[in-house]
Structure formats: C-alpha cells, structure tokens
Structure 1
Amino acid sequence: MSDTLLTNARLIDPEAGTETDGALLISGGLIARVFAGPPPADTGAAVVDCRGKCLAPGIVDLGVKICEPGERHKESFRSAGRAAAAGGVTTMITRPDTLPAIDSPEQLEFVSRRAAEAAPVRIHPMAALTKGRQGREMVEIGFLQDAGAVAFTDADAVVTDTKVFSRCLTYARALGALVIAHPQEPGLTGGAAATSGKFASLRGIPAVSPMAERMGLERDLALVEMTRARYHADNLSTAAALPALERAKAAGLDVTAGVNVHHLTLNALDVGDYRTFFKIKPPLRDEDDRLAMIEAVGAGLIDVISSMHTPQDEESKRLPFEEAASGAVALQTLLPAALRLYHAGQLTLPQLFRAMALTPAQRLGLPAGRLSESAPADLVLFDPDAPFVLDRFKLESKSKNTPFDGARMEGKVLKTWVGGREVFAA
C-alpha cells in the first residue's frame, strides 16, 4: 500500500479537543505523521487535497444490529458495511440479538467470518449475556471472550432475575469482560410504545413513565457496586436517570453510558400522527429530556453517542403504531443527525467525535478513534455544512426505516478510509 498525504484539512482531534488546520500522512495502514499547517513538499506520498473540509477519526458505532443469521432480508453484513462506509463509520460493534442469538463460540465464529468476507469496515461482535437472551442461564463468557467477543449483552432483553444478573456480573468481573445492559423496568415498559404524558394520552398510545429507566438503572448500579464489574448502560434517554449515573461515577465504579442519536435530535412530539418510523426503543422522550441528554454529553457524563441501528422491513413498520416494530436504520444518518447539535451550537465537533469515536474505542480497548501517530488510519472526511434532503431509498441499508426521510440535513461524508484504504468516495 502506497503512502497517502491528506493535505489542506481541518483536523478534528477528539483526544486533544481541538480543531486545527493541517495535514496527515498515512503509511502502512497507520497514521504516520500529523502536521500542524502545510506539510513538507518531499514526503513522496500520493496527495489528496481535502479542500479545507473536516478530517476526523472514523466513527466507532457501538450497538449495531446486523440481521445475520436469521433475518438477512432486513440487513446483511455486505449491505450494512456499505452503509457504514458511506456514513463515516469505520468500526461497527454488533449486537447479538439475531435469530438465533449469538450465544456460543460457533455462532460468534460464523458472524466474524461473514463480517471479514463481506464488509469493507471493521466489525467487532458482542455476544449474548445469557443463553438465548432469555435471562435464565449465563453463557460461557470465557470461551466467547477467547473467540473474540468484545462485550456481553442481551440487548433490549432485560435480565429480570437479579440473582442471574449478579452471577453474570461476578463472572464478567473475574474475566475483565464488559457487560452492556439496556436499563428499564420491564414490568412497566411491557407493551409501551410512547413516553407517558399529555401527548400519548391524547393519541391513545400505551405509554411508560421515564421512571422505568431510572428504576432499571438504579438496580443495575447497585449490582455493579456489589460485584465491581465493568458496566455500560447502552441507551439512556431520560433526565431522571442521570443523577444515579453521576453518583456511580463519583463513587469510582467502572461505569459508562451511551445515548441514541435519535434521543438527542428528536422528541416525543415527532411521532405526530402515528408515524411508525419514529417508534424506537426506548420511546422518544420529552424535550426537557432531550436537552438534558445533550448537556450530559457535553459534560462527559454520557460517554457514547451511537446509532443503535435496527433494521426493520416494511411489513413490520406498516402497522398500527402500537403493533409496529421498534427501531430505525441509522448508519448513514448518524453523522448528519449529530451535526444538528453542532449547528445549533450545543456541542463542538471534538465533543461529538469524542462521543462517537474516541470513547467507545477506549471503552472496548480498541486502538481506533484517534488522530495521533501510530493509530489506525480509520478516517472520515466530511463537509459539515453541505445541505441535502434525505431520501431513504438512496440509503445503502436493505431496510429503509429512518425517521429522517424527507428531512433537511447538513453534513455529507466525502471519503472514508479503513486502515489507510479508501472504502467510500462520494
């Protein structure tokens, strides 16, 4: 692979928290040098003029659902890989909520092999925490870790048996494994399709109080305090849950938390007249919650912004709101949606890429997410000001269930590199 020099770039460095004009040299799949200002003329590398656009570490998307095995008609490794590359996502951390669930080394080996064959970006799979994601029997955490699982989660299936969950945390602690949970109180959330309040009542939509999230998180954090396990709450969405998270971090627990980009950019009123593309899990929250989550990301209390990419076919979405499947595709909309916060003056570009690239990579022990020498040359070049109207049928994903269909957005990915190899060019 020949050396490549990316010149005339606006470097977004989430590690230093800076935006600077400069250049970057790629050699052997790694970042060889970072230049402040113009580079020397004698590097001998092929030159790519970035024309003053933003160059940032590729996004590390924690919590992507790829529907292999079981529902390949919704999303495959090939289609998800193309969507990721087009969205500036260079690493996908995939969920185990497939059919069947990824709960054995053999299944993990299958998805790892398929990913390597079909996807142009890096893929690191997570494994289920309990067999079949049924919350009754712990998986073989050590064997799955040896097979390449980067974390363990039952995704949106809450382990309701506290003894089983505490046993999982204890074993994970002994092995240094990361447990990722979706904190909710399932007795309250069962059957709910919206957040409780006047809007849900007027629309007649079954709803749940935001307190269900706080109750689930409080339980999880109590068990983390007892077991001292490594824990990540994957999809917080309410202001009510933040004080518990803040106390846990202040107490020195090894705890992090993430937020879905939809909960940062949409609110409960966007459901409008029962638009099922806006049905996600947890449901969209009130505007006060949305603003609280943005503030928490800016303060570093919320560590990770992810897409929670969840493909659903037309048949599962074209149903009455209460019956429709939850979830949205978001690999290609993660960056332009997040840039709404930048254009609104709520978060800076280094803050966004800290949450979308640096912190998820650090949490999983990956070398990605940095613009520094010897880091992998996983990069995205984008124009944060380029306007467009999103057409869902132009997305690379097989499923087209995005709440941003027809929305006016700003921010286009121009090029994506993985290990110094160009995998997307607009």
Structure 2
Amino acid sequence: MSPIQAQHAVRGRFLDIQHSVSQASDIAQAVRYIEDGLLITVDGKIIWFGTWQEGQALLNKNVIFEHYPKQLIVPGFIDTHIHFPQTEMVGAYGEQLLEWLNTYTFPTELQFKDKAYADQIAQFFVHELLKNGTTTALVFCSVHTASVDALFEAAEQHQMRLIAGKVMMDRHAPAELCDTPESAYQDSKKLIEKWHGKGRNLYAITPRFAPTSTPEQLVKAGQLKAEYPEVYVHTHLSENKNEIAWVKELFPEQKGYLDVYHHYGLTGQRSVFAHCVHLEEEEWDCMHETNSAIAFCPTSNLFLGSGLFPLKKTWEKQVKVGLGTDIGAGTSFSQLQTLNEAYKVQQLQGNKLSAFESLYHATLGGAKALDLHDKLGNFNVGKEADFIVLDLNATALQTLRQQRTQGIEDALFALMTMGDDRNIQATYVYGERVYVKK
C-alpha cells in the first residue's frame, strides 16, 4: 500500500470498545487493546487505525507524529447531561432537588441574560470539559438565548461536537427566568435554524422539567420536535421522589412522569432523560419502546440525596444509557470521578461495575445514547477523531498502585477509581490537540 497523505498521526497504547453491545457480559469480547498502535487522521476523521508495525509504512517520511509510549489513549469521554450556567455553583450546601433549585440555581442562572457574562463562563466551561477529557457533551443552557450563542461560539473555536439548547420554562420559577409558550417556541426555532448542524453543533429542545412548563408550553416543545425531527430533546425525569409527587399533582390526567413527556411527543430516538432514578416498570418499557435514552448522573444523585440509579436495569430492559456529570448538582467535570461514584452506587445495590463496562458507558455507550455512535465512541475508520491521552501515574499513590496492576483491565479500574483531571495528558478534538497538561 502506498503512503497515506496523513495530516496527523499518533502512536501509543490504544484501548476502545469496537462495537455496541446488548449485554454487559459481552463487553469484554468487544474490547480492543493495541500495545503499540497507530492512528492516522485527515480532516478530523480517522482514516487508518491498527498496529504500529502494520501502519508505519503508510506514513510519509515528513509526517510528524506524537508518540505516547507510556500513556493510554482512549476515545474522548462523552457527557450526556451537564448544565453550563451552573458551573460556578457546584458544591452548594444542604438542599435536595426542589429547594436546591430555588435557593441556588435560579439566582445563578439570572446572570446569563448578560451576553458578556455568558461568554466568560462559556469559555471557562469548555476549557474545563477539555481539561477533563470530555470531547462531546449534551448541555443545558439557561432560558436566555444569549447563553446558547455563547456556548456554541466557545465550542466552535475548537470544532467541538456539542449538543445544547435554551431552557423552556414558563412557571414555578422567578418571573425574570420565565419565558412563555410562544416566546420559547420562537426563540428555540431561531436557535435551531442558527446552530443545528452548523459545523459540529447540534441543538436540543430543552424544557427544564415537567413542573416548570405548562401544558401549553409542552405542546410547543412537541411541535418543535415534530417540525425538526432530527434535533434532540433534553430534560429531567424521576430524579427525586418529591418531584415525582409534584408532577402527579400538576398532570393528574397522565399515567406518570414519563407519560407527560410521551403525551406531548417528546420521547424518541434522540430524547435524553437525565436521572431516571425512580422509574416505574411501565416507564422502563416506554423508554425501550420509544428508543429514548437515560443520562446516569451518580455524583449528582448522591450529592442531592436523590437515590441509587439501577444501572443493571438498563441492560435488562435494553434502554440506552450514558454518563452525565450534571454540573452543578454533580460535583466534578471528570468522567473518571463520575465512574468512581458510579461503581459505588452499584456496589450499594449488590452489583459490580467493571472497568470495561465503565469505559463503554463513558465512550461508545454514551455515543449510542446520543445517537452518534456512527460518528463517535471508538477508533473505527471513518469516525471523528476525538480522543484523549491518559497518564496513569499522575500522583505518587497512583504510581504505587499501577505498579501492582494485573493487566490492562486492572490498570483501567485503578485509574477510574483514583483518577481526575490530573490524569488527562492531552485532549484531541477532530484530530487536533486542543489541550495539553502543563
């Protein structure tokens, strides 16, 4: 084979999950680990992947490639639920969901009517994602259109694949944070036309959660979804028991919380529901039948005392699931720390979360939840070149622990238990290095 006119090449230890699986027990068979591998990219896409021995002859002699002999290279992490306007209120003390919203969240989000302020936080937010190895995220903005513009503009500087939307909220919130059914519809429509499919940006119709939208507004959200079937729906579902009881009071004509969204046409292939800690059996069935997805947010669920998410049930019911950091109820931008907490949540339910299953949820499983598994999630040729370089020995304790690991799975598990942003050596987005640890 003649040399490839490569733009970028990276050599090192590579680990990914080669294809989607339907059972956790199948993941080990889908794992691909190459001790000395080569990844070649052109125009942001992977055009060749394999062993260094096979691939080195494909490189022109003048191609400069990065070599990471001791690190571990994995696909970029995918965050399926996070709030950009809540970045500065992470770690707010003492409340559960509904009180937390009123005490901390709404006053913080009021600031995002100011575009300059939104720009400032958007730059910080995107940098934090990249610093933590997150290359794709599904993001809540605030009710203000300026917040959406600010975030997409910040992501665009790095050619980052981001999905985001303006919050729709017309009741049970401060008047200054409320829109109307019609203004939410018109604003969202303009933002869809402006941003969806521009570069790598994608749009999500974003009612905050059922209690903060009137039936009239949910009708408008469903109308948007019908008019733009390729866009996403992003909202919250069954996070907290008091919240669930409130939804039943507000929507007595519906069978349950999920049925509210389903009734208004908001379930489906690109609909992602954050939390889902307390789903009823028929709601699990509806999630499966509509091909909707869940964002599992362990640090948030623990921090707000919401409950323990039954991850095992997603395999039993064949429901797509990804990981969400849920900043700012969640307590870290790091998917490594998120997986650390996810493991503990499963332990408390008598279940085990393996290192390879963890990697699946953070990469290819997250891509599948976002209906992007044809573009993201592993190193298959043709996919977009989003990946991260992990330093397994970022602290003295990690170095000591890694010296005793038995194989790549054990090394990965130790990283996911002890790791954080210090373990991100470099982050690549669309084939370009956009972050390097100093």
TM-score of the superposed pair, with normalisation by structure 1: 0.66
Q: How does 1:110-125 map to 2 (within 5 A)?
A: 110-117=150-157, 121-125=160-164
Deviations 1:273-329 (A, max 9, x none): xxxxx3x4xx342xxx24x23x2456553511111122xxxxxxxxxxxxxxxx245
Distance of aligned partners of 1:372 and 1:355 in 2 relative to their CA distance in 1, 3 Å threshold: same
Aligned to 1:139: 185
Alpha-carbon distance in 2 for matches of 1:11, 1:55 = 6
Query: 1:109 & 1:156 partners in 2: Cα distance?
Result: 22
**Which of 73, 79, 83 in structure 2 is aligned with 1:65?**
83
Contact 2:296 2:323 in 1 (8 A): yes
SS in 1 for 2:237: coil
Q: Secondary structure at the match of 1:79?
A: helix
- How has the CA–CA distance of structure 1 residues 183 and 75 changed in structure 2, closer, same or farther, with 3 Å as cutoff? farther
Q: Structure 1 residues 178, 122: closer, same or farther in 2, change over 3 A?
A: closer
Offset at 1:126?
Answer: 1.4
Q: In the alignment, which of 357, 361, 380 is matched to residue 388 of structure 2?
A: 380
CA distance in 1, matches of 2:19, 2:255: 29
User: Match of 1:41, SS?
Assistant: helix
Partner of 2:339: 338
2:362 to 353, 356, 360: 356
Counterpart pick for 2:428 among 404, 417, 421: 417
User: C-alpha separation between the residues in 2 aligned to 1:144 and 1:306?
Assistant: 24
The equivalences for 1:142-291 within 5 A come to 142-149=189-196, 150-156=203-209, 158-176=211-229, 177-184=231-238, 188-189=242-243, 218-221=256-259, 223-224=261-262, 227=265, 229-230=267-268, 232-238=271-277, 240-241=278-279, 243-250=281-288, 252-262=289-299, 267=302, 278=303, 280=304, 283-285=305-307, 289-290=308-309
1:33 CA drift (Å): 0.7
Q: Does 1:307 align with 2:361?
A: no
1:12 aligned to which of 13, 16, 21? 16
Q: Secondary structure at the match of 1:417?
A: strand
Q: Give how far 1:77 is off.
A: 2.0
Partner of 1:317: none
8 A contact 1:7–1:50 mirrored in 2? yes
Cα–Cα, structure 1 residues 346 and 51, in superposed 2: closer, same or farther, change >3 Å? farther
> In the TM superposition, what is the alpha-carbon distance from 1:35 to its structure 2 partner?
0.5
Q: Does structure 2 retain, via aligned residues, the 8 Å contact 1:92–1:121? A: no
Q: Which amino acid aligns with 1:113?
A: E
Distance 1:387 1:410 in 2: 9
| Aligned-pair CA distance for 1:360 | 4.3
Once the 2 structures are TM-superposed, how far is the Cα of residue 12 of structure 1 from its aligned partner?
Answer: 1.2
Question: What displacement does 1:89 show?
Answer: 0.8
- Asked whether the 8 Å contact 1:81–1:120 carries over to 2, the reply is no
Aligned identity (percent) is: 11
SS state at 1:19 partner: strand
What is the Cα deviation at residue 417 of structure 1? 0.5
> Measured at CA, do residues 341 and 210 of structure 1 come closer, stay the same or move farther in structure 2, by a change above 3 Å?
farther
Query: Do the aligned partners of 1:4 and 1:27 also contact (CA within 8 Å) in 2?
Result: yes
Offset of 1:374 from its aligned partner?
A: 2.0
Distance 1:160 1:388, change over 3 A: farther
Q: Give the root-mean-square deviation of aligned CA atoms.
A: 4.2
Structure holding more helix per residue: 2
Opposite residue 330 of structure 1, the aligned amino acid is S
Q: Check whether the contact 1:183–1:220 (CA below 8 A) recurs between aligned residues.
A: yes
Distance (Å, rounded) in 2 between the aligned partners of 1:38 and 1:9: 13
- Answer yes or no: is the 8 Å Cα contact 1:108–1:125 preserved in 2: yes
Distance 1:19 1:354 in 2: 12
For each residue in 1:364-396, what CA deviation from the matched residue of structure 2 results, as whole angstroms up to 9, or x when unmatched?
555333321121211012245755789xxxxxx
Q: Deviations over 1:61-81 (max 9, x none)?
A: 233333383484997122222
Instruction: Structure 2 unaligned segments of length 5 or more: list them.
Output: 21-29, 86-110, 171-176, 197-202, 399-416
Instruction: Quote the residue 2:43 is aligned against.
Output: 28
3-state SS of paired residue (1:303): strand
Provide the C-alpha distance between the structure 2 equivalents of 1:156 and 1:387, rounded to a whole number of angstroms. 40
**Count of aligned pairs:** 347
1:46 aligns with 2:64: yes
1:19, 1:350 within 8 Å by CA — same for their partners in 2?
no
Residue 55 of structure 1 aligns to a residue whose secondary structure is strand
SS at match of 1:235: strand
What's the CA shift for 1:112? 2.8
Question: Helix, strand or coil: the match of 1:147?
Answer: helix
Label 1:136 to 1:8 Cα distance change in 2 as closer, same or farther (>3 A). closer
Structure 1 residue 139, shift from structure 2 partner: 1.4
